[in-house]
A and B are shown apart, each in its own frame.
Chain A
Amino acid sequence: MLLYPRICKALVAGIVGLAAAPVWAASLAAFPPKIQLDNARDPQRIVVVKTRDDGVTLDVTKDAIFRVEPATLATWSDQLRLNPAADGEGQIIVEYAGETLSVPLKVQGAGNNPPMSFRNDIEPVIMRSGCNSGACHGAASGKNGFKLTLFGFDAAVDYDNLTRDARARRMDAAKPAESLMLLKPTGGVDHEGGTKIEKDGPLYQMVHRWIAEGANNDPAELPTLTGIEILPPAGVLEGAGATQRFVVQASYSDGTDRDVTDLAVLASGDDAVVAIDGTGLGTSGSRGETYLMARFGTFAMVSQFISIPADTPLNWPDVQPKNFVDEFIHAKLKKMRVAPAEVCSDEVFLRRAYIDTLGVLPTVEEARTFLSDTGPEKRGALIDQLLQRPEFNDVWAMKWAEALRVRSIANVLDPKAMHRYNDWLRQSIQGNKPINELVRELLGAEGGTFTSPASNFYMVVDQPPQMAENVAQVFMGVQIQCAQCHNHPFERWTMNDYYSFSAFFAQVGKKGSSDPREFVVFNRASGEVNHVKSGQVMAPKFLGGAVPDLAGRDRRAVLAEWLVSPENPWFAKNIANRVWEHFMGRGIIHPTDDVRVSNPPSNKELLDELGKRFVAYNYDMRQLIRDICNSNTYQASTQPRDPAIQDVRNFSVAQVRRLPSEMLLDAISEITETKVKFASLPLGARAVQVADGNAGNYFLQIFGRPTRESACTCERKNEPTLAQTLHLINGDTLTNAIQAGDSRLTKRINEQAPTEQIVEELYLAAYSRPPRSDEAQLMLDYVAKAPDRSQALQDTYWSILNSKEFVFNH
């Protein structure tokens, strides 16, 4: 929590002042922020960005004045590229519109012009030119007799294919220009793929030189690529046609870096918002936000850019942040020129808070009490109160059961074990077990599946790789399954990562017990995972982390320690994002279980802060929920401030969402005071409490309850369908609930309750508000005119339960 106050002060200052005059500090920045030229062929572009008071970023590189000090260190060439001239250290002074900036400069090896490297120079040329894509020579069987590894994942194989295969005719060191490797892609001879490399252009020259040097393989001690950046990392472009130049920087294991803009593959997530060309020039288009992605070697990185129309002043309403959530949300909205919606009414807040926190609607009495309460802090008080209710535990037990795929599996996961597992989850939530502790217990689970319920975690899937996939997806939000078969072309996970992460589960043992329905999970202390291609035994390695010392320990316990530790950058943020999504209807990274470079968060600063707080709160979900629910962002109305703009990603406005299937069914039962019988649960149990992913009924199925066949959050469906509509209109769920002999309505009819009372109660039960007078009148007239009062009253229930105000959370 040390970081927060600092950020917060700055933000508050900005926000408070903004309504009058913007006070964001004007700033000038250079990219890369320091320059190091490592040899004679290491030129470096420099980009200068001015951030205007209102957040708009301007590429002022062309208008800035640069001064190299001392001037002997480097010289300029085209496109503002700095070339090394003499070794030494100094700086570049950048001046723009009265502001000055110093960029440290270091030149080493100015006289050294190293030979071309296959891995660091030639493979990038091949990739940039598209030769090793899946549609061309990167296909599993190559193309027209020439095969490259997909996106250059195996340089050794590529080197052999290029230099040895086909009787080495692809290379001619004596006459490099006659080499097939140059003739083919330049169209010098017939090439099905067309012209890929411009003859005599820079890429051509690199390959030409490499062949002339003997098409040598790399020395063993070649520096390896350790990462890339695309700079500037973020910005705001104003008006269609605004431009920003990007620089892609690669870092190597020997501490050198390199401008690889000309060698990287550049792409925009959405060309219509900001497009990028092969030289790194980005151009804005229509309003929106997108990422610009650079791929180089096995790395991919993105820069996030916003495009706003010209002449879009910030009309910031008088909305104050209630807590850090609002501060981060408002900061982003200001950049987007979107004003947050007003705060919702008490009626709307009440219903929303109950649905999101408890999965139930407020009862008639609860609604009356809250709406008539005049206290100033009643919303915060309600949130505190809801967080202590038992229904909260049901909701989160269900959510965890969904992620952990709790379901019965014939001969593997007996219903009794499954119920124990589900109960254990519920009790953990009820006891406010810190989530890191819950995860530690799951991963390290041992013992009988009846007596030690967490051990069922290992019964849901059978093989170590699938256990690893689930752990990555559920606890880190990362999907690694593609890397089972191939290195991912755009993402960081390799097959080595996949199998070495799987190795943590290689020693999970399962055996029968005296009860044929129960299994015992134990640590076999032996067993390994082999890489599917090389056959090599893989040492357990944390995903994106280190190879731990496992001496004498259960591998899973070691993994669990790392998983929930601060060294794992994913865990806390991922859980926080899942909590956020539950309340806001959308993740900051969305979907929450698909964290990857090309799916960046819509508000990174907020996600980071939520993750930090979750750790500081000792992984207490309730604390985090309190922060979220007390924010104006959560309590926003569903009406956008500007009706022309409906924001989905930046949380300026609340989203109208259909109730999830279980909660919709429970709400019908609650309003009609009827019960649905679920298999193996007592009558009166709610749908939220159904433990088995394989159980449920027709209603739950068509409204999109997940069957838990995978850990994917995409299993839950919220889209409307014709089948849902038909079921609400004609189906037995509503018909039975309304007409049952002991339904709320039947009881009222039998009690001879007046229509006014029945209608008011129905509105409070379904909408958490009393009917407006016109609504009450409508119902009264309908009932009065109908030939059969009971049927007419049933019709009022039918219409409310079919209405959108009921079916949606808003």
Chain B
Amino acid sequence: MNHSSDFEGCTCPGPPTRRDFLKVGLLSGLGLTLGDFFKMQAMAGTPAAGTAAAESVIFIYMSGGMSHMDTFDPKPFAPIEYRGELGVANTNTGDVISGLMPQLAASADKMAIIRSMTHGEAAHERGAHNMLTGYRPSPAIVYPSMGSVVSHEYGPRNDLPAYIAIPGVGDPFMGTGYLSAAYGAFSVGGEPQADGFQVRDLNLASGVDPVRMESRKGLLASVDSHFRELEKGDSLDAMDSYYQRAYALISSQTAREAFNVAAEAPEMRDRYGRSYFGQRLLLARRLVEAGARFITVVDGGWDHHVNIRDAMRGQLPAVDQGLAALINDLNERGLLQKTLIVMCSEFGRTSRLNKDGGRDHWPKAFSALLAGGGIKGGTIHGRTDARGAEPTQDPVSPMDLAATIFTQLGIDPARKLMSPGNRPIDIVRDGKAVRNLIA
């Protein structure tokens, strides 16, 4: 992670500052863990009352702090040192977004833009914690990422891991927090864009057919039984759970095939763009189609302290093409209503360009995009002032966004999960689903 700060003229150091508050995990005295896994399991039960609009989420995380002024909240009438030089594209709903996003502009009727995202954390890791977990960072506990909560609530479907990260777990707060490591993301471990991309170890080793695999499994279970009766621990439980999932995944041809992005027609691959970003989204679509619950796609390099104009010209077209393709492709397949697409960043960027032609961190106001999954298309929710510095209407907190996502998935945000030490903790606290966004 490229770590920089909101303090002018100063480039903050490398990654480890996240350690400020990270890994304190079991801060409270005894750090009671025995059986917590089972208790959480028991509490899991059926996740929610009510109906789920969305069955899956594709959570696209633009790491570094994507500028709202240059993407979804342009200010064409602000002075040049604010608005920048990228221009605007007219959306098919009568609004404007960045001039570098013409394809998304033409699909705006299928998406909702929140222009009034706001929080108070201007450091990358703290902002990321807000957006990925729906909680402000705490010194006492590390919260689970939304993907881990969904994995905990729903578990695997069609033998696919519930929570998958493409290309990998790109942020420490995409982790399981106080939940067991069993709810962690499965990293596909490579770029779907690369020639010959494949996820390793999904197929049985040569010389091992399904029958022999079955007898190996039986033998391993017997070998393990004595030790497992004796020893307790969350990491042991988590490993058991991963073995069950691995067996299921290995034995399902359909589940394994979902990772095979090369099975897509060349035209389809072109449609998403042969970029890293486009092919990650294409794989996400395959996985969602096959039953995965929560796909996180991480895209880095949005921390533009310097020359944001040229950087955006380089980076945004792939985003425009890939995301527009995803929305429209899902729509054509009849999957858009069941799939919630979320695109966000840890924060936005300062409305005035700095002396280096870049923008610095700005958590007071930024944008997020939602589409599908029961979200009302063509919505613009909230607004910022004339220079994009502060929300002036309908501010939305990361907690509100998280509550919206969980609500659409049919998970009650007020439900409590058990953390170590038997402390029940709300899935989302102080957040309300944004009704205006919901169809």
Contact = CB atoms under 8 A, between A and B. Distances in A.
Nearest to A286: B421
A722 B16 contact: no
Contact of B231 (A532, A719, A810): A810
A795 B28 CA distance: 44
Contact of A795 (B172, B216, B245, B250): B216
A805 interface: yes
Q: Size range of the interface on B?
A: 35 or more
A270 B419 CA distance: 13
B19 A714 contact: yes
B203 A479 contact: no
B235 A648 contact: no
B219 A649 contact: no
A481 B15 CA distance: 10
Contact of B235 (A286, A718, A729, A803): A718
Given A709-B15, A720-B181, A730-B205, A649 B26 contact: yes
A802 interface: yes
B28 A272 contact: yes
Nearest to B181: A719
Interface stretch (B3-11, B89-97, B98-106): B3-11
A269 B189 contact: no
A782 B10 contact: no
A558 interface: no
A724 B19 CA distance: 25
B246 A725 contact: yes
A794 B419 CA distance: 41
Interface in A719-740: 719-727, 729-732, 735, 739
Contacts of B219: 778, 782, 795-796, 799
B355 interface: no
A481 B16 contact: yes
Interface string A554-579: 00000000000000000000000000
Interface string B127-142: 0000000000001100
Find the residue from A482, A650, A657 having the highest chain B CB count within 10 A.
A482
Contacts of A808: 231, 235-236
Contacts of B27: 269-270, 290
B29 A273 contact: yes
A775 B219 CA distance: 11
A120 B422 CA distance: 42
Interface string A722-764: 1111110111100100010000000000000000000000000
Nearest to A463: B13
Contacts of B216: 795, 798-799
A809 to B, nearest CB: 11
Interface stretch (B109-117, B222-230, B283-291, B336-344): B222-230
Interface string A467-486: 00100010000010110111
Interface string B391-434: 00000000000000000000000000000011100000000000
Interface stretch (A134-142, A170-178, A388-396): A134-142
> How extensive is the interface on chain A, given as a class?
35 or more
Contacts of A307: 29
A719 B172 CA distance: 13
Interface in A279-307: 286-290, 306-307
Interface stretch (A242-250, A537-545, A638-646): A638-646
Contacts of B24: 599
Interface in A129-147: 134-135, 139-140
A760 to B, nearest CB: 14
Interface in B178-224: 181-182, 184, 186-187, 189, 200-208, 212, 215-216, 219-220, 222-224
Interface stretch (B31-39, B51-59, B318-326, B367-375): B31-39
A346 B176 CA distance: 36
B184 A648 contact: no
B22 interface: yes
B201 A481 contact: no
B292 interface: no
Nearest to B189: A723
Contacts of B245: 722, 725
A98 to B, nearest CB: 33
B28 A289 contact: yes
A656 interface: yes
B28 A775 contact: no
B393 to A, nearest CB: 15
Contacts of A799: 216, 219-220, 223
A803 B243 CA distance: 11
B17 interface: yes
A269 B200 CA distance: 42
Contact of A649 (B31, B182, B231, B238): B31
Contact of A272 (B182, B222, B236, B421): B421
A401 interface: no
Given A730-B204, A807-B239, A482 B31 contact: no
Interface in A635-669: 638-640, 643-650, 655-658
Contact of B238 (A484, A719, A731, A798): A719
A594 B184 CA distance: 25
A465 interface: yes
A30 B242 CA distance: 55
A658 B235 contact: yes
A406 interface: no
A712 B238 CA distance: 25
Contact of B224 (A140, A657, A805): A805
Nearest to A466: B13
B235 A720 contact: yes
The residue in A270, A482, A722, A739 that gathers the most chain B C-beta atoms within 10 A of its C-beta is A722
B200 A479 contact: no
A222 interface: no
B7 A140 contact: yes
A804 B231 contact: yes
Nearest to B32: A646
Contact of B7 (A465, A486, A800): A486
Interface string B275-300: 00000000000000000000000000
Given A698-B200, A775-B226, A798-B216, A722 B161 contact: yes
A712 B16 contact: yes
Nearest to B126: A134
A26 to B, nearest CB: 25
A778 B231 CA distance: 21
A100 interface: no
A485 B12 contact: yes
A296 B139 CA distance: 19
11 contacts: A288-B29, A307-B29, A336-B30, A647-B31, A649-B30, A710-B15, A710-B16, A719-B235, A730-B250, A798-B220, A802-B220
Closest 3 pairs between A and B when the two form their complex, measured CB to CB:
A289-B29, A288-B29, A648-B31
Interface of A: 134-135, 139-140, 269-273, 286-290, 306-307, 336, 338, 465-466, 469, 473, 479, 481-482, 484-486, 532-533, 591, 593-594, 598-599, 638-640, 643-650, 655-658, 698, 702, 709-712, 714, 718-727, 729-732, 735, 739, 772, 775, 778, 782, 786, 791, 795-796, 798-800, 802-805, 807-808, 810
